[in-house]
A and B are shown apart, each in its own frame.
Chain A
Amino acid sequence: MDNNKFLKTILNGLFYENPTFVLMLGMCPTLAVTISFFNAIGMGLSTTIVLILSNLIISLLRKIIPDKVRIPSYIVIVASLVTVVQLLIQAYIPSLYKSLGIYIPLIVVNCIILGRAESFASKNNCINSIADGFGMGIGFTMAISLIAILREFIGNGSIFNIILIPNDYQIKIFSLAPGAFLVLGIIIAILNYKNNNKIKSDEFSCNNNCLNCSMNRITKGDE
């Protein structure tokens, strides 16, 4: 029974509640990092590692962190975690730091981290939280890699910086901001068309309990 939930949580993050195409979290890094396939994979994997660790830590502390100060607590935990990861990479894997250096601090403001901490890790045990971090992280990586392959190929005519299409036939707009929105929108439209009527409300991990949804509490204000 436990194994089932573990697997279900991973699949949830990969497909049914993919953070980019379904939950639409973390749009800023999605649009910025998907210009190149290599950058997208790097950013996705770094985010996955941070996501797994932050989910684990917050799940461990979920009984200790008081409800009223949970947001500042999550933020300070995630920010410290990312800074530690950045310092360690800068010191011991300098080649990785050179290619990914600027993206690592950006992971802190990636809404996926805070979103999953708030809606999953604070309410589930450690093992399942790790599964959720892994699923959401890899789901995020797959999503932005897909967008990046398309944007780099159509906009820059290259894959992994190897030019395949000559300069005259590259559609440069796909390497700029409007192109990001276009590719993202078209992919979501195709997915929604295929999934029409197939997603049932009880498949969402929050059980569609909107009245008691944690996101609702943030806007309503504390009682």
Chain B
Amino acid sequence: MKNNLLVIKDALILFIITTILGLLLSFTKIITDEPIKTAQINALNNSYRQVINDYSSSDDITRKVLDESITNSKVKLINCLKVYNANNETIGYITLVRINGYGGNIDVLTGFDLSENITGIEFPNDLSETPGIGMGITSNEFKNSFVGKNISNIKSVDTLTGATISSTAVKDAVSFSLDIVKNAIQID
């Protein structure tokens, strides 16, 4: 009988500890919800500014550009934005596409000007490529090799030695983005 009481006492203490910690966690989540959302929006706007320097605001035109004829089995369109500068003039487009890399998904953010030339690429979300090898796609050298390219010369971008799968995935993602933006400009 004493054994049962001991077990109940131990379980009760564990229950109290877990409850207090649970309350502490909930409290922390509540007070950090707002700052986290703000930080995420800021990070997103920063990455937009990195691919198009004069980014000021944008319209979400994802639904308008989703077209049966340019679907791709490997690349998925997540977002397409029409970009305005501080004077509310259209200065280009931004696309966010997702493709399977070597270690997981690669999200590629690409900026385009009105002549359908690439202004920059970024990787706004976490990458699971192999450090020192596939992660070389985040190097400035590789990212800058896309700047100024368009549909006619995208194939000339060099892939990375030893990181074929990761760098080819990025190339495919950007090629798809070029098709999307071509369509977006046409239907505008």
Contacts and interface: CB of A to CB of B under 8 A. Distances in A.
A87 B32 contact: yes
Interface residues of B, number: 26
B132 A69 contact: no
Contacts of B162: 172
A68 B6 CA distance: 10
23 contacts: A36-B131, A61-B17, A64-B13, A69-B10, A69-B11, A69-B14, A73-B14, A73-B17, A76-B17, A76-B18, A80-B22, A83-B25, A83-B28, A84-B24, A84-B25, A90-B36, A91-B32, A91-B36, A98-B43, A172-B133, A175-B132, A175-B133, A176-B132
A91 B132 contact: no
A92 interface: yes
Contacts of A35: 131-132
A155 B132 contact: yes
Contact of A91 (B18, B35, B131): B35
A152 B117 CA distance: 37
Contacts of B133: 172, 175
A109 interface: no
A90 B32 contact: yes
A87 B36 contact: yes
B43 A72 contact: no
A92 to B, nearest CB: 6
Contact of B17 (A77, A84, A97): A77
A182 interface: no
Nearest to B31: A91
Interface in A53-76: 61, 64-66, 68-69, 72-73, 76
Contacts of B24: 80, 84
A65 B13 contact: yes
Contact of A92 (B14, B21, B35, B130): B35
A65 B9 CA distance: 11
Contact of A76 (B21, B32, B39): B21
Nearest to A35: B131
A101 interface: yes
A175 B131 CA distance: 8
A94 B46 CA distance: 12
